[in-house]
Amino acid sequence: MSGLEDLYREIILDHYRNPRNRGELEVPPATRAEGFNPLCGDEIVVYLHLDDPTRGDSAVVEDVRIGGQGCSISQSSASMMSAAVKGRTVGEVRELTRAFKAMMSIHEGELEGGAAEPADADPSELRLGDLEALRGVVKFPVRIKCATLSWNTLLQGIDDAEAG
Amino acid sequence: MSTGPTGAAVAADLTGDRPADDAADDLDVAAVKADFPLLATTKHDRPLVFLDSAASSQKPRAVLEAMDHYYEHDHTNVHRAAYDLAERATSAMEGARGKVARFIGAGSAEEVVFTKNATEAINLVARSWGAANLSPGDAVVLTQLEHHANIVPWQQLAAERGLELRWVPLTDDARLDLTGLDQLLDGAKLLGVTAMSNVVGTLPDVRALADAAHAAGALVCVDGCQSVPHLPTSVADLDADFVAFSGHKMCGPTGVGVLWARRELLEEMPPFLGGGGMILDVRLDGFVPADVPHRFEAGTPPIAEIVGLGAAVEYLEALGMDRVRRHEVAMNAYALRTLTERFGEEITIHGPAEPAARGGVMSFEFRGIHPHDLSQVLDQHGVCVRPGHHCAKPLMRVLGVGATARASWYVYNEEADVDALADALAEAGRFFDF
Ligand SMILES: Cc1ncc(COP(=O)(O)O)c(C=O)c1O
């Protein structure tokens, strides 16, 4: 059953059992963005409070809260994301998101059963930290959308905040 | 979390003797299984336990061979040539139409329209019959059990036409709550109802609903996508007006579905898609549509798939649909008993508790483990079940869940498959033990 342990790393299960930053924020000043995974019915809500949305990439994530329901992968990814982005600038969050999504993208060689470990595609200076634990998800392509759901929802939240 | 019966409630219902249907199961599953090449494959060095036929069934060799034979010996385009080969292709296709008509007890083969799938068949009803007969303010009644295929086409039409959609609610065990039916049907033009839920297995009494709808002056559009593959079907006995189903869930290939409708209705209906094959004449200022059913079959049809579907219904007829149904009721009884005995309160099985009140599909909740995670662990044990909303999000909301894990059986499943499911569930319980 080695495959399963690759997917369900202990730290993932920990975030699933004890999700960080669950709850809601008052809207406004926060924004509320909803994301759906049409594949498995997961629904995620990201509440995002930026100190000053008009400052673009230098606005700071004052607070973030996660609502909704989902599988261990989507929930733990959301939990880790919430911990990783709090206190960061929007610019840093965007970069982190890019790095995370790069880790989650399937490279052709791997689809053919080639490289066992995904090539390190992390282009950023930012460390993914705990989020690295989700690397195993790429071996289970149908679960990739679970892992990226909260990140896409967060980006949507940033766009909503910036649009006022 | 769910409104379905608790494990204990289901178990209490099953403490009596084995139901009569159970004893009568005389399907030779080992022989049937040997007819399905894919089921000989292994996963993780174990035999594959395929419990996802509600999504799409596997195919018996007879169907694959019929399609191969067609391509190797009889293929060319149908209907528009005089040479012998075209004759053979046309008669292979029209022969299949006759077989399908017989299989569902249709009055004539002309009442069988080939589509791409059940979804297209229902869209055909909405776009052709609906657009010609429904006006602003008209009501269409649907049930909360429906698959998106029998919801969205009506929502689209409702948005364009200003129709009113009304919903038949559900009881706690996911049966139709018919207490307000007369009011719902009052002034309605159409009732759309599934003959078997693809999520919880509920079997609405289509005949009684059709009687009520007709008394109220409404027509009935039956989603037979799950019922036609699993239950003996007579469109005459159902007294329905439209019945839609897909070939791929009944041992046939993907790419072909059926709309059956009463001939008088089809004859009044305008074409759905326009193009070749569906006309008698075309001039610069207009066209004359072909007779039914070809009026609704624009373009080159999926000929080989239609031939495959013909072989599939012959295969099912040879097994006997009554025997198929008895087998699935027996499987229901065995699964309800096994899962509730082994897991008690840890499992919640949605839908009716009585084995004979369900089709061969079972959605369940197990120890709070998310269905996606559950099916991932089951997959490691070679057990294929489907997680998700099963294209029935309104039903998910009624059940109070975002998704379910769903196991479904068919002619090639046996009690050992349920045992494998139970064993794998126990493993999943250990894996997610928190
Ligand atoms: C009850 C029901 N209706 C409609 C459909 C749609 O079938 P298809 O996707 O073959 O058109 C399905 C299959 O998923 C179903 O189970």
CB B24 within 8 A of CB B326: yes
Contact between B370 and A71 using a beta-carbon 8 Å cutoff = yes
Round to whole Å and give the CA distance between B332 and B247: 23
Round to whole Å and give the CA distance between A31 and A27: 6
Query: Running DSSP on this structure, what letter comes out for residue A123?
Result: -
| Cβ-Cβ contacts under 8 Å for A36 (sequence gap 6 or more) | A42, A43, A44, A149
Round to whole Å and give the CA distance between B65 and B69: 6
How many angstroms away from the CA of A49 is the closest CA of chain B? Answer: 27
pLDDT at A133: 85
pLDDT at A129: 80
CB B105 within 8 A of CB B130: no
Which residue in B194, B171, B188 sits closest to B133, CA to CA?
B188
The DSSP H or E segment spanning B258 is strand B257-261
Round to whole Å and give the CA distance between B39 and B416: 14
**pLDDT tens profile A48-61:** 999 999 999 999 99
Domains and CATH numbers, chain B: 7-60+320-431 (3.90.1150.10), 63-318 (3.40.640.10)
CATH of the domain at A122: 3.90.1010.10
pLDDT over 70 percentage in chain B: 94
B327: alpha, beta or left? (left if phi > 0; alpha if psi -120 to 50): alpha
**pLDDT tens profile B130-170:** 999 999 999 999 999 999 999 999 999 999 999 999 999 99
**pLDDT tens profile B100-127:** 999 999 999 999 999 999 999 999 999 9
Range of the domain at A154: 2-163
Ligand 1 pocket member B194 (CB < 6 A): yes
What average pLDDT does this structure show over B285-311? 95
Rounded to two decimals, the pTM is: 0.89
Round to whole Å and give the CA distance between B347 and A150: 29
Closest in A8, A41, A72 to B403, CB measured: A41
Mean pLDDT, rounded, of chain B: 93
CB B327 within 8 A of CB B27: yes
Contacts of B398 in chain A (CB under 8 A): none
Does A43 touch chain B if contact means CB atoms closer than 8 Å? Answer: yes
> Do β-strands B286-289 and B112-115 pair in parallel, antiparallel, or remain unpaired?
unpaired
Contact between B372 and A3 using a beta-carbon 8 Å cutoff = no
Contact between B403 and A143 using a beta-carbon 8 Å cutoff = no
**pLDDT tens profile B66-76:** 999 999 999 99
Contact between B434 and A13 using a beta-carbon 8 Å cutoff = yes
The pick from B197, B198, B228, B243 for probing ligand 1's pocket by mutation, whose C-beta has the most ligand atoms within 8 angstroms, reads B198
Which chain B residue has the Cα nearest residue A71? B370
What residues are paired with B408 via a beta bridge? B52, B361
pLDDT at B19: 45
Residue A117 above 50 pLDDT? Answer: no
| Cβ-Cβ contacts under 8 Å for B126 (sequence gap 6 or more) | B153, B154, B156, B157
Q: pLDDT category, B433, cuts 50, 70, 90?
A: confident
Which residue in B206, B198, B27, B212 sits closest to B104, CA to CA?
B206
Does A51 touch chain B if contact means CB atoms closer than 8 Å? Answer: no
Give backbone dihedrals phi and psi of B342, rounded to 5 degrees, phi first.
-80, -35
Provide the domain count of chain A.
Answer: 1
Q: Which two structure tokens, joined as six digits, stand for B282?
A: 């075309």
